[in-house]
Chains A and B, each alone.
Chain A
């Protein structure tokens, strides 16, 4: 079966510090991968998605970046965090191709980031 991992689970970082959040998926190949942010009182915001190694699309301009160094690894980074980067970061995956049952989007447990 497939599983998705995210770490760390929680993180408290000062303004201006760097960030690295990691997401890995097991049990599948060539997944579509996604990074979302969920801020308090706001909806789910898509940040990046990837259809393959080294292929990253950005949905929202910001000081964050994403990389996909391996097929099932997705990393979210920042060189200098802002207060507005605080939020709940979620990684998700789905099988590429179809849109019916079996092609659902699945989410990881999330990382709670607090920028102080």
Chain B
């Protein structure tokens, strides 16, 4: 059974710092991995999706990398801003079968002005 872990559970940093959020998974037979952000009381917003054949994806100040063999993905946030404050979740889809992703519990990020 796939297990997805996100460390740290919470993070508080001053504005301007570069950040790395971690996502690890136990079964490397994955099809893709997707990063989301969730603002309090809101739905999840898709940030980046990495297919298993890819090593990284970039969108603006965000860069997500994938190392399937070691069961890890990182989300790099450059020059953090208070507007980046949110909970960040990763979800992993296994190969084969229906598309049922396994979610981590998220990292709660606070960026102080």
Contact = CB atoms under 8 A, between A and B. Distances in A.
B45 interface: yes
Interface string A2-43: 000010000000000000000000000000100000000011
Contacts of A112: 41
Given A109-B42, A112-B41, A99 B31 contact: yes
Interface string A77-101: 0000000000010101010100111
A98 to B, nearest CB: 9
Interface stretch (B17-25, B74-82, B95-103): B95-103
Interface string B76-113: 00000000000001010100001111011110000000
Interface in B33-59: 34, 36, 41-46, 49, 51-52, 57
Interface residues of A, number: 27
A114 to B, nearest CB: 13
Given A51-B98, A103-B49, A44 B34 contact: no
A53 to B, nearest CB: 16
Contacts of A100: 32, 49, 51
B43 A44 contact: no
Contacts of B93: 99
B34 A49 contact: no
A34 to B, nearest CB: 8
A59 B91 CA distance: 17
Interface of B: 31-32, 34, 36, 41-46, 49, 51-52, 57, 89, 91, 93, 98-101, 103-106
